[in-house]
Structure 1
């Protein structure tokens, strides 16, 4: 008998209240198959799905079979999101390198488009991961009323209600606020590393760099020359006859 989902109270009001703010650049762009006009729109929708789930997909990370099914109409956007969440790339990048609590936080942010309400919600979904596995957890997220009401079968999930009233700036994007690795795995993988630079390097703009024939180009060569010269003779001032050594100039007509 499967353990039912632990009840938790929604404490965050930002994602559950309708917004009446004036749209601006912080408003998310919605990608949906309901309003596709050209093949390039489908390409943009697929890229948006990769950004939402993977943040960035390299060529080796792309799911070509799923893309082909989505383009031909064999699967919905919701099925495409399910395929990305169950892919080897997502498992290696998020599930294998995080605890269940951290993995739940990532999935709620990416799939439901909001932060977790509380630690109790993390525990509730972590129990689902432990008892039903990743597939059961993903299916339960995508089958939830919250996902179907906000995104349905044809819309790519996005971060909902990033604009907060009374603040100069809205919420940070999830990929910046929640790094892929937590502190334990970042230390285990050896990053970030602090590199101490002992040599001070200076940058000289191109217009200030010496041109051909500039004497500054030969300064190092001139400093490397060590010419041998005769040392000055040390003569005591007591032995100098100033009357004889100082030249005397006679005026004309004076003897």
Structure 2
């Protein structure tokens, strides 16, 4: 018999307050299959889903079967998100390398689009992981009333209400809660501080010299050190002009 979800009080976060701010670059872009007009729009939606769940997906991390099913209308966006969070990549990178509490925090951020309300919510969902397993926990998040009211079946989850009342914006989830916890970050050897003693300069392609440009041979010309004959220092008063003038001899 599964233990019922432990009750926790939702905090008064800005995610639970209606927004009146004017649309700007800080506002999240909503990707939904309701307004797909071309194949490129579907590609942008898929990339947005990868960014939300993985932050960055390498070629080996992608799920071509799920992408094909979504493009053909066989599954919804919610089912696509379910497949990504149950994939081997998400399991290996998030579940295996984090504690249950940290895994709860990251899943709530990526699936529900908000931070956890309190430590009590972490404990409540951790009990679900212990009783129902990882798949049961993710299914409960995707089947929750909060998810269905915020995103439904067709909208890619996003970080809700990043703009605060003061005009500042919250830190993105991928920066606030990186994929690996501190122990594994130290084990993998990052972050690394790289100090450079030389200043690197960047020149755009339109300003780089083309073939035949004299600037390409400037260094070669500067490396040449020609040594010519010095001019003779002879005074004009010591020159016998009469003897120097050619004349015909008889």
TM-score by length of 2: 0.79
* Aligned residue in 2 for 1:214: 222
| Structure 1 position 194, deviation (Å) | 4.7
Pairwise CA distance, 1:136: 0.2
Superimposed CA distance per residue, residues 150-173 of structure 1 (whole angstroms, 9 cap, x where no aligned partner): 000111000000010124x21111
Q: Any idea what the Cα deviations from partners look like across 1:185-222, whole Å, max 9, x if unmatched?
A: 1122232345677xx44668999xx733436x87xxxx
* Structure 2 counterpart of 1:8: 8
Paired position in structure 1 for 2:182 = 183
Separation (CA, whole Å) in 2 of partners of 1:13 and 1:94? 25
User: Structure 2: where are the runs of 5+ without partners?
Assistant: 204-214, 226-250
For the structure 1 residues 203 and 78, does the alpha-carbon distance in structure 2 shift closer, same or farther, using more than 3 Å as the test?
A: closer
Structure-to-structure mapping, 1:102-121, within 5 angstroms? 102-121=102-121
Identify the residue that residue 233 of structure 2 maps to in structure 1: none
- 1:74-101 per-residue CA deviation (whole Å, 9 max, x = no partner) reads 1111000000000000001111111111
SS in 2 for 1:212: helix
Please state how far the C-alpha of 1:176 moved relative to its aligned partner. Answer: 1.3
Match of 1:159 in 2: 159
Change in 2 beyond 3 A, CA 1:165/1:68: same
Mapped to 1, the partners of 2:198 and 2:57 lie a distance apart of: 36
1:224 aligned partner: none
| Mapped partners of 2:21, 2:179: distance in 1 | 31
Gaps of 5+ in 1: 219-255
Which residue in the other structure is 2:60 paired with?
60
Aligned residue for 1:42, secondary structure, equals helix
Map Cα deviations across residues 21-59 of structure 1 (whole Å, 9 max, x no partner). 101000011011111111111111111111110111111
Tell me, in whole angstroms, the C-alpha distance in 2 between the residues paired with 1:105 and 1:119: 10
CA RMSD of the aligned region, Å?
Answer: 2.1
Query: Which structure 1 residue ranges, 4+ long, deviate > 3 Å from structure 2?
Result: 193-197, 200-207
Distance 2:100 2:16 in 1: 25
1:161 alignment partner, SS class: coil
- Paired positions, count: 213
Provide the residue aligned with 1:28 in structure 2: 28
Matched, 1:143 2:143: yes
* TM norm structure 1: 0.78
